[in-house]
Structure 1
Amino acid sequence: MKVLFIGGTGTISQAVSELAVKKGIDLYLFNRGNNNHLAPAKAKIIEGNIRNQKEAKEKLEEHHFDAVVDWVAFTPEHVKNDIEIFRGKTDQYIFISSASAYQKPQTSYLIDESTPLANPYWEYSQNKIACENILMAEYRKNNFPITIVRPSHTYGKTSIPAALNSHQAPWSIVDRMRRGKKILVHGDGSSLWTMTHNSDFAQAFVGLLSNRQALGHAFQITSDETLNWNQIFREIARAAGVKDMELIHVASEKIAEYDPKYRGSLLGDKAVSVVFDNSKIKRFVPEFKATVSFAQGIKESIEWFDTHPEEQKVDQEWNKLMDKIIAENGR
């Protein structure tokens, strides 16, 4: 099987790349070469800019792929560009959407692929919905061979996943915990959430590659473990060896007043209770079973950072924002 990943070295895609190569897939990565030290040794690298349609067509001219996955398509312009590049050059095009595209607030806590797509809070999610609509129309009108995958909160060993953490320096939340600082939690911490380890995600995703039955379908891929946010923050602390930690609860709407980005990531995603029904992906990939608990996964992440002190960067601006919100709202 000959497969092309556009990107292929991110938190989710790196785990999929590694498993794909392990399973004997002839894997090509098309990217700008910035992080190819993270690529599997057996992957073939084509350096280029996928947004430059002329350059991409020239570099891929001699190739035809069983499947193409764009890990870095975020806007309608990106997928329109991909359609022009890969029409007639692949038997399957997989678009990475997002579970944040689901209806907010949803009418049922249980989410499956039939849940409506509508997110008035987050431009990121709105763009993903628009991309899905374009691709489904192209499939229906012109038989462009699409498959849509909607990950939720997926992490790996180099991640410290939390609703309120620095995106640039994920170690920041652990540093804060170990220094005995108060930890901000949105709402009352009781809303339900799902954390998915990238190795579990990869098992399901690889089963969709070149899967003819998956054409025209959308799939969500998550763990079946459901935790609330108080449990999630306490699992991070436990893995970090922190026994005493004070959680400060502040309404999501109030937090978003301090930084507009939280309007999307909280009100448009993590503030809402969700439980995912993964029965569809299990029908199409029967061997898929998520096995990494959050307690296990976050322990591995903390251990990785503890053995890579050079990666223990702290975002002081984020720290100041957390201190400010807690000082002005904590009780």
Structure 2
Amino acid sequence: MKILFIGGTGTISMAITKRLAEEGHELYLLNRGSRNEGLSGNIKYITTDINDEEKTAKLLDGLEFDCVGEFIGFVPQQLERDYRLFGGRTKQFIYISSASAYQKPPKGYVITEETPLENPYWEYSRNKKACEEYLMGLYRDKGFPVTIVRPSHTYDERSVPLGVHGDGGSWQVVKRIKEGKPVIIHGDGTSLWTITHNSDFAKAYAGLVGNPKAIGEVFHITSDESVSWNEIYGYIAEALGVQLKAYHVASQTLADMSGYDFVGSLIGDKSNSVVFDNSKVKALVPDFKCTVTAREGIRRTVEYVLAHPEYQHDDPEFDAWCDRVIEAVEGMKKAFK
């Protein structure tokens, strides 16, 4: 097939790009060219900032595709631009939405595609819902061939999956664990979470590409494995060969602390126990099965980051913030004794 990805080199999309290239499809990556190194196969590059719509339209002139995958659309205005660029130019348009848009707090912990999209805590999630509504309107009213995919917490070898981290990413938390410092885990760490390795996510996504039964449908793609946050952080410590010094702080307390905004990412997402029912995507992609367990995926990621200093971004501000939070919580505990 002839496939174009808007982006194509991010955490979710890189594994899909590599998989489809290996399968022999003709791939086009439309991006700014900053992360295309290391790719091989039948891949062509359209180097541009898609926000420069006039230039992008000229570069697309005369091209048509079996599928266009949108990985970097966050607000409806970006999807309106995409429709202007790709309406009538593709047989399928796959949009990456987000499972964080599902109802929070959930009325039931098992999530299906029929679970309502209601997240009053996170603007990011509400914008994803608005994007879905816009695209499904185009499907109903104009026949635009939309498929919507909702990932949950998908990760790759470059960043360890966490609940609480700073703007610099996961490394500072890994470093705290490695150095034997107390590490903040939201809540009591027993809520259930689902992390999905991008190589597993790519299997299901690839099965939806060019599948006519996927048009006009919504799917989430996640692992079937549910683990607690205590287990996730424990696997990181295990991979580092050290003991975890967990320090549990209520999610609402973290959200109320100044310095970082955890209302959306915790109250609106990670503090809620969720288990995903993937039967809908498996009905279309029967071979889809996640094989990278949370324990194995975290081990691989930790080893990769340790071996690649370019992904070890120190974040002294977040490190100091953790110490202040722990000190403040200890002070509150003493005050209530």
**Same fold, judged at TM 0.5 (above):** yes
Residue 101 in 1 paired to residue 120 in 2? no
Distance in 1 of aligned mates of 2:39 and 2:118: 35
Gaps of 5+ in 1: none
Partner amino acid, structure 2, of 1:290: C
In the alignment, what sits opposite 1:15?
15
1:224-258, Cα deviation, whole Å (9 max, x unpaired) = 1100111111111111111x222111111110112
1:5-38, Cα deviation, whole Å (9 max, x unpaired) = 0001111100110001011111100011121214
Partner amino acid, structure 1, of 2:244: M
1:269-307, Cα deviation, whole Å (9 max, x unpaired) = 001000000000100111100000011111111111222
Distance in 1 of aligned mates of 2:91 and 2:141: 16
In the alignment, what sits opposite 2:114?
114
1:111-167, Cα deviation, whole Å (9 max, x unpaired) = 010000011000100100000000011100111000000000001111111011234
Secondary structure, in 3 states, of the residue corresponding to 1:231? helix
Secondary structure, in 3 states, of the residue corresponding to 2:196? strand
In the alignment, what sits opposite 2:172?
172
Question: Following TM superposition, by how much is the alpha carbon of 1:327 offset from its aligned partner in structure 2, in angstroms?
Answer: 1.2
Question: Following TM superposition, by how much is the alpha carbon of 1:41 offset from its aligned partner in structure 2, in angstroms?
Answer: 4.8
Partner amino acid, structure 1, of 2:245: E
Question: Following TM superposition, by how much is the alpha carbon of 1:170 offset from its aligned partner in structure 2, in angstroms?
Answer: 2.1
Distance in 2 of aligned mates of 1:47 and 1:226: 39
User: 1:8 touches 1:39 (CA, 8 Å); kept in 2?
Assistant: no
Question: Following TM superposition, by how much is the alpha carbon of 1:310 offset from its aligned partner in structure 2, in angstroms?
Answer: 3.8
Secondary structure, in 3 states, of the residue corresponding to 2:37? helix
Distance in 2 of aligned mates of 1:79 and 1:86: 10
Question: Following TM superposition, by how much is the alpha carbon of 1:313 offset from its aligned partner in structure 2, in angstroms?
Answer: 2.2
In the alignment, what sits opposite 1:245?
244
User: 1:9 touches 1:38 (CA, 8 Å); kept in 2?
Assistant: no
With structure 2 as the length reference, what TM-score do the two structures score?
A: 0.95
Distance in 1 of aligned mates of 2:92 and 2:116: 24
Residue 77 in 1 paired to residue 77 in 2? yes
User: 2:159 touches 2:305 (CA, 8 Å); kept in 1?
Assistant: no
In the alignment, what sits opposite 1:5?
5
% identical aligned pairs: 48
Residue 320 in 1 paired to residue 320 in 2? yes
Question: Following TM superposition, by how much is the alpha carbon of 1:81 offset from its aligned partner in structure 2, in angstroms?
Answer: 0.7
With structure 1 as the length reference, what TM-score do the two structures score?
A: 0.97
Residue 223 in 1 paired to residue 184 in 2? no
1:23-66, Cα deviation, whole Å (9 max, x unpaired) = 11111000111212144453110111212222221111111000
* Equivalent residue pairs, number: 330
Distance in 2 of aligned mates of 1:186 and 1:52: 41
Partner amino acid, structure 2, of 1:205: Y
Distance in 2 of aligned mates of 1:162 and 1:132: 27
Residue 32 in 1 paired to residue 32 in 2? yes
RMSD, aligned CA: 1.2
In the alignment, what sits opposite 1:256?
255
Partner amino acid, structure 2, of 1:3: I
Q: How does 1:295-310 map to 2 (within 5 A)?
A: 295-310=295-310
Distance in 2 of aligned mates of 1:189 and 1:214: 37
Distance in 2 of aligned mates of 1:274 and 1:121: 16
Distance in 1 of aligned mates of 2:74 and 2:60: 21
Residue 43 in 1 paired to residue 46 in 2? no
Distance in 2 of aligned mates of 1:290 and 1:105: 26
Q: Kindly report structure 1 stretches of 4+ aligned residues shifted beyond 3 Å.
A: 38-42
Secondary structure, in 3 states, of the residue corresponding to 2:149? strand
Gaps of 5+ in 2: none
